[in-house]
Amino acid sequence: MSPKGLPKRQRLIGAWLLLSGISLLGGALFAVWLESQLAIAGSYRALLWLGCFSGGVTLFCMGLLFERMLFTPLRQLQAQLARLVANPEAENTSPPQGWLKGLGPDLRRVEDSWRTDRRRLQKAHADGARSATRIRRELEALLQVLEVPLLLYDKHRRLMLFNQAAEQFFSGTPSLGLGKRLEALFPLASLQQPLSKLPADGTHRELLIPCDNRWLKVIIRRVPESHDETLITCSDATAAWSNERGVRAELAQMLTPLRQHTASLVTATDALGKLRQHDYESGSLGHRLEQVAREESIALSEAVARIGELIETVQQQGERLTSIWSNDFWHTLDDHLDPAHRLITPIGMPVWFKGDAPALMALFSSLVKHLSHYMAGSLFEGEASLGHKHVYLDLIWKGKPIPERELAVWRHQPLTTLPLSPIVADVLRQHASDVWSIQDADDQHARLRLPLPFAEQFDAPRTVTPRPEFHDFGIADLPSPDTALANCPLRSLELVIFDTETTGLELRKGDSVISIGACRIVNARLLASDVFDEYVNPHKPISPASTAIHGITDKDVADAPALKPVLKSFREYIGDAVLLAHNAAFDMLAISQKGVTFDMPILDTLLISRALDEALDGHDLDSLVKRYCLNLPSGMRHTALGDARVTAELWLALLPRLEARGITSLEQLLSFQANAFDREDASAS
């Protein structure tokens, strides 16, 4: 390794002792030779030997003097400057010594001035950001109590914000986390087309997508006047569909025979009245029976009518029936049918109606396929018109109407793109509706008419001006994911910092992993709650010496999974991030060659520290924590997750020192740390 500054202490001491030894040995040999040539004795002989040894003794004493008075103080000064850059608030308790002692007041003045300037800047920043901080806290509090899962993605589909409801909704999913990509959480194939077609004015789109053995109703919209940020809310539609296919559907089906029985009772009562007038005009008992039957039939008829109204209200106010602007519906349906061509042209005045957008999309998609036999061309018109209590949604084509027998067949067609594959009739019943086909007055066009619940809205959708502080997140300013990773600035890297605990240190002789802990840094910020912490069952005893260090016993890992499934989960947790560890060679040896590939770049704070301060000793984690005065909670060391967090804090302390040397990209850092690689670090026996 080529020296970049002050040589290492061991090298200086070795060179000093070597030169001193050579001088003393040379002086002794020279003295022996002179004594044999001059044959002197007495005091002259002592002076001869003293003169021959004077060079070596002088060299030894000068080396000792320089080491104590210059080189040791220089190393102390280097460590103090490194601490000051990495942690400006750390107190330097040891002033310069030796010949550098006179620099003590100047160094203290520099430290005090630096801290004063930093405090002024921090105060100015705090004063300027106080209002934004207050609003941000209010927003965070609001998001935490909001029961709707909410996710905000930037233009590169990286997660910038999610609330507690989203964390609970996707619990157990390692793909949810700041900076992670949208496709890690949702199937991208279901969202790719709608995302590319989202209007910029904030108009929403409703989708039904399969995700982890359940169907999600997803509402997506572009945040207006933003950097193409996308807001996503979602809900589990599986239970709602099961409900509508279950008790609610059965209740609606029972209403029809109940109405029939009521009508039969009314008819029978009328017949009884007529019969009494002919044969039992004097019979008071028949008259009373007829009156009771008529009253009960009227009451029953009114009750059935009321039940019907309530069922219709329940269906119209169902959790999946939302207000839809007709023009938005036609445009979305057009994009869904054929994004490359315009098949449906909206006509007439647009109106609001209530419906389940994904279900209606599936219904009309099925209808268009069924219409291929009844139309002369391939183009449609879409019209929405107001009725007395409903909005009539009409799909118009040039040709003949669909016969009723064909509609009857179509009503029983399954809609396989919806949860539980309901038939068309189920969707119609969900909307308390039916369909029929009629011929237009010009005898050239026909239409299929679908009455839908009326929505009490009249004005067209308005564009909502967003409050800028609601989406002022640094993640959106990071480089595009398409940027070459080697050229990414260090502060923009997504880092997963990890550590392992093992049964022992002899990995090549059978010791294995018993714990993996990791945390994440996004946008140069350590995420407190985004962690990975798993025990591993090594299927072998843990040595007492190892337990004394990390505290993990055989009982702790008895019920833990094996290493391979834990490594698969860990690889999924990493995603597209760069790995970082302290003495990464050991940890990578512990997890490699286990059937899971870790092919991302690896950073090592041990090598980085060694490359930064080649002349200093002590690059282990404890020494570096002490050197940079990192304030850590007690009990944090010697657990996998704890050491990972310590390493993360160390990385944030080293980052400004790297930037001061012009090392700002991943490629530069990998080259820089390679200069400090020592194969002994990775031996692991």
Return the CATH number of the domain spanning residue range 322-453. Answer: 3.30.565.10
Confidence (pLDDT) at 412: 87
CA separation for the pair 421, 582 (Å, rounded): 53
The band of 37, judged by pLDDT with boundaries at 50, 70 and 90, is confident
Specify the higher pLDDT residue, 544 or 17.
544
Q: Which residues pair with 447 in a beta bridge?
A: 396, 438
Return the CATH number of the domain spanning residue range 483-682. Answer: 3.30.420.10
Confidence (pLDDT) at 602: 92
- 605-612 vs 640-660: helix axis angle to the nearest 10? 30
Q: Is the pLDDT of residue 202 over 90?
A: no
CA separation for the pair 531, 285 (Å, rounded): 83
Confidence (pLDDT) at 569: 93
Q: 76-80, 187-191, 257-261, 500-504: which has the minimum mean pLDDT?
A: 257-261
Q: Are 603 and 669 in contact (CB under 8 A)?
A: yes
Q: Using alpha carbons only, what angle is made at residue 607 by residues 603 and 611, rounded to the nearest 5 degrees?
A: 125
Q: Is the pLDDT of residue 666 over 50?
A: yes
Phi first, then psi: give them for residue 171, nearest 5 degrees: -60, 140
Residues 39-47, mean pLDDT to the nearest whole number: 73
Q: 44-53, 193-202, 297-306, 381-390: which has the minimum mean pLDDT?
A: 297-306
Helix ranges, 457-604 (H): 544-550, 563-574, 584-591
For 296-331, what is each residue's pLDDT tens digit?
A: 667 777 766 666 665 555 554 444 577 888 888 888
Q: What is the mean pLDDT of the chain?
A: 77
Nearest-CA neighbor of 579 among 596, 595, 562? 596
CA separation for the pair 448, 439 (Å, rounded): 9
Residues 64-89, mean pLDDT to the nearest whole number: 74
Nearest-CA neighbor of 380 among 407, 398, 367, 393? 398
Domain boundaries, the chain: 9-86, 149-319, 322-453, 483-682
For 415-442, what is each residue's pLDDT tens digit?
A: 888 877 788 888 888 787 888 888 888 8
Terminal-to-terminal C-alpha distance of the chain: 24
Q: Is the pLDDT of residue 57 over 80?
A: no
Confidence (pLDDT) at 103: 61
Give the highest mean pLDDT range of 92-101, 249-258, 312-321, 376-385: 376-385
Q: Are 639 and 546 in contact (CB under 8 A)?
A: no
Q: 60-64, 160-164, 590-594: which has the minimum mean pLDDT?
A: 60-64
Helix ranges, 281-398 (H): 284-316, 326-337, 357-370
Q: Is the pLDDT of residue 260 over 80?
A: no
Does 149-319 carry CATH code 3.30.450.20? yes
Q: What is the pTM of this model?
A: 0.52
Q: Are 149 and 170 in contact (CB under 8 A)?
A: yes
Q: 190-204, 241-255, 338-352: which has the minimum mean pLDDT?
A: 241-255
373 DSSP 8-state letter: G
**With b meaning 16 or more CB within 10 Å and e meaning fewer, what string describes 480-517?**
eeeeeeeebebebbbbbbbbbbbbbeebeeebbbbbbb
